[in-house]
Protein backbone atom coordinates (compact mmCIF):
# COMPACT_ATOMS: atom_id res chain seq x y z
CA UNK A 1 0.00 0.00 0.00
CA UNK A 2 1.22 3.49 -0.83
CA UNK A 3 1.08 5.81 2.19
CA UNK A 4 -0.30 9.15 1.00
CA UNK A 5 1.01 10.99 4.08
CA UNK A 6 4.71 10.13 3.89
CA UNK A 7 5.16 8.48 0.43
CA UNK A 8 6.28 5.13 1.93
CA UNK A 9 5.25 1.72 0.69
CA UNK A 10 3.56 -0.01 3.63
CA UNK A 11 2.56 -3.59 4.37
CA UNK A 12 4.73 -5.17 1.72
CA UNK A 13 6.92 -8.24 1.79
CA UNK A 14 7.23 -11.78 0.63
CA UNK A 15 5.94 -14.34 3.09
CA UNK A 16 5.57 -18.08 2.58
CA UNK A 17 3.82 -20.89 4.42
CA UNK A 18 4.28 -24.65 4.51
CA UNK A 19 2.12 -27.23 6.25
CA UNK A 20 2.78 -30.83 7.23
CA UNK A 21 -0.04 -33.15 8.32
CA UNK A 22 0.34 -34.89 11.64
CA UNK A 23 -0.07 -38.67 11.79
CA UNK A 24 -3.00 -39.99 13.81
CA UNK A 25 -4.52 -36.49 14.23
CA UNK A 26 -7.34 -35.49 11.91
CA UNK A 27 -7.53 -31.91 10.63
CA UNK A 28 -4.38 -30.69 12.45
CA UNK A 29 -1.05 -29.90 10.84
CA UNK A 30 2.22 -28.23 11.69
CA UNK A 31 2.85 -24.99 9.84
CA UNK A 32 5.80 -22.70 9.29
CA UNK A 33 5.46 -19.11 8.09
CA UNK A 34 8.59 -17.29 6.93
CA UNK A 35 9.92 -14.23 5.12
CA UNK A 36 10.79 -11.32 7.39
CA UNK A 37 9.06 -13.38 10.06
CA UNK A 38 9.80 -16.90 11.26
CA UNK A 39 6.72 -18.38 12.93
CA UNK A 40 5.86 -21.98 13.69
CA UNK A 41 2.63 -23.40 15.02
CA UNK A 42 -0.46 -25.47 14.34
CA UNK A 43 -3.20 -25.30 11.71
CA UNK A 44 -6.68 -26.66 12.25
CA UNK A 45 -8.87 -27.38 9.22
CA UNK A 46 -12.40 -27.32 10.60
CA UNK A 47 -14.17 -28.24 7.35
CA UNK A 48 -13.27 -28.96 3.72
CA UNK A 49 -12.26 -25.36 2.89
CA UNK A 50 -11.63 -23.35 6.10
CA UNK A 51 -8.53 -23.39 8.29
CA UNK A 52 -7.20 -21.44 11.27
CA UNK A 53 -3.52 -21.30 12.18
CA UNK A 54 -1.78 -19.91 15.25
CA UNK A 55 1.92 -19.68 15.94
CA UNK A 56 4.82 -17.99 17.68
CA UNK A 57 8.28 -16.99 16.53
CA UNK A 58 10.40 -13.97 15.70
CA UNK A 59 10.30 -11.01 13.35
CA UNK A 60 12.95 -8.65 11.99
CA UNK A 61 11.55 -5.41 13.41
CA UNK A 62 14.57 -3.27 12.56
CA UNK A 63 17.47 -3.49 10.18
CA UNK A 64 20.77 -2.18 11.51
CA UNK A 65 23.36 -0.78 9.10
CA UNK A 66 26.92 -1.92 9.87
CA UNK A 67 30.23 -0.85 8.38
CA UNK A 68 33.29 -3.01 8.95
CA UNK A 69 36.58 -2.86 7.07
CA UNK A 70 35.06 -0.54 4.49
CA UNK A 71 32.18 -2.98 3.79
CA UNK A 72 28.57 -2.05 4.37
CA UNK A 73 26.15 -4.76 5.52
CA UNK A 74 22.83 -5.01 7.30
CA UNK A 75 21.76 -7.19 10.20
CA UNK A 76 18.27 -7.69 11.60
CA UNK A 77 17.19 -6.89 15.14
CA UNK A 78 14.74 -9.61 16.15
CA UNK A 79 11.68 -9.36 18.35
CA UNK A 80 8.99 -11.84 19.39
CA UNK A 81 5.89 -12.48 17.29
CA UNK A 82 2.51 -14.18 17.71
CA UNK A 83 0.24 -14.66 14.70
CA UNK A 84 -3.26 -15.83 13.82
CA UNK A 85 -4.32 -16.71 10.25
CA UNK A 86 -7.59 -17.71 8.59
CA UNK A 87 -7.61 -19.18 5.11
CA UNK A 88 -10.29 -20.44 2.76
CA UNK A 89 -9.30 -22.97 0.08
CA UNK A 90 -5.65 -22.26 0.99
CA UNK A 91 -6.14 -18.56 0.17
CA UNK A 92 -5.36 -16.20 3.04
CA UNK A 93 -8.44 -14.23 4.15
CA UNK A 94 -7.28 -12.73 7.47
CA UNK A 95 -4.04 -12.32 9.41
CA UNK A 96 -3.14 -10.69 12.71
CA UNK A 97 0.49 -10.35 13.81
CA UNK A 98 1.53 -9.03 17.21
CA UNK A 99 5.20 -8.25 17.83
CA UNK A 100 7.04 -7.28 20.98
CA UNK A 101 8.17 -6.64 23.63
CA UNK A 102 10.88 -4.26 22.31
CA UNK A 103 8.68 -2.78 19.59
CA UNK A 104 5.09 -3.66 20.50
CA UNK A 105 3.02 -3.50 17.32
CA UNK A 106 -0.02 -5.15 15.75
CA UNK A 107 -0.78 -5.59 12.07
CA UNK A 108 -4.14 -6.79 10.84
CA UNK A 109 -4.90 -7.68 7.23
CA UNK A 110 -8.35 -8.47 5.92
CA UNK A 111 -7.87 -9.71 2.37
CA UNK A 112 -10.25 -9.22 -0.57
CA UNK A 113 -12.99 -11.83 -0.49
CA UNK A 114 -13.63 -11.92 3.27
CA UNK A 115 -15.88 -8.85 3.32
CA UNK A 116 -18.37 -8.35 0.50
CA UNK A 117 -20.19 -5.05 0.06
CA UNK A 118 -22.39 -5.58 -2.97
CA UNK A 119 -19.96 -6.23 -5.84
CA UNK A 120 -17.06 -4.67 -3.90
CA UNK A 121 -14.61 -6.89 -1.95
CA UNK A 122 -12.14 -4.59 -0.19
CA UNK A 123 -8.96 -5.53 1.54
CA UNK A 124 -8.16 -3.62 4.73
CA UNK A 125 -4.85 -3.07 6.50
CA UNK A 126 -4.41 -1.66 9.99
CA UNK A 127 -1.07 -1.21 11.72
CA UNK A 128 -0.70 0.23 15.22
CA UNK A 129 2.01 0.44 17.84
CA UNK A 130 5.57 1.67 18.30
CA UNK A 131 6.63 0.73 14.77
CA UNK A 132 3.57 1.67 12.71
CA UNK A 133 2.16 4.38 15.02
CA UNK A 134 -1.23 4.17 13.26
CA UNK A 135 -1.72 3.29 9.60
CA UNK A 136 -4.88 2.28 7.79
CA UNK A 137 -5.19 1.26 4.17
CA UNK A 138 -7.78 -0.12 1.80
CA UNK A 139 -7.10 -2.44 -1.11
CA UNK A 140 -8.84 -2.05 -4.48
CA UNK A 141 -7.08 -4.90 -6.32
CA UNK A 142 -9.82 -5.25 -8.90
CA UNK A 143 -9.67 -1.54 -9.78
CA UNK A 144 -6.16 -0.17 -9.12
CA UNK A 145 -2.65 -1.63 -9.30
CA UNK A 146 -1.82 0.00 -5.94
CA UNK A 147 -3.74 0.71 -2.78
CA UNK A 148 -3.85 3.90 -0.72
CA UNK A 149 -2.90 4.04 2.95
CA UNK A 150 -2.72 6.87 5.42
CA UNK A 151 -0.75 7.18 8.63
CA UNK A 152 2.59 8.03 10.12
CA UNK A 153 5.03 5.21 10.71
CA UNK A 154 8.06 5.58 13.01
CA UNK A 155 10.91 5.27 10.53
Q: How confident is the model over 10-36, as pLDDT tens digits?
A: 877 788 899 999 999 989 999 999 988
- pLDDT category of residue 41 using cuts at 50, 70 and 90: very high
pLDDT of residue 141: 67
pLDDT of residue 60: 87
- Distance from the first to the final alpha carbon of the chain: 16
In angstroms, rounded to a whole number, what is the distance separating the alpha carbons of residues 59 and 77?
8
Q: How many CB atoms lie under 10 A from the CB of residue 64?
A: 9
**pTM for the whole thing?**
0.85
Better-scored residue on pLDDT, 3 or 108: 108
In angstroms, rounded to a whole number, what is the distance separating the alpha carbons of residues 31 and 77?
24
In angstroms, rounded to a whole number, what is the distance separating the alpha carbons of residues 74 and 35?
16
Contacts of 103 (CB under 8 A, 6+ apart): 61, 62, 79, 129, 130, 131
The answer, yes or no, to whether residue 7 has pLDDT greater than 90, is no
| Mean pLDDT over the full length of the chain | 88
Amino acid sequence: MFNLQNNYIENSGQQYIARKSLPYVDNVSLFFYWGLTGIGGLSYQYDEVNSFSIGIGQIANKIRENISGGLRFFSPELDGAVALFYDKNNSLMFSALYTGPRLPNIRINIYPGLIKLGGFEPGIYIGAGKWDKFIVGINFTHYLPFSPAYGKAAR
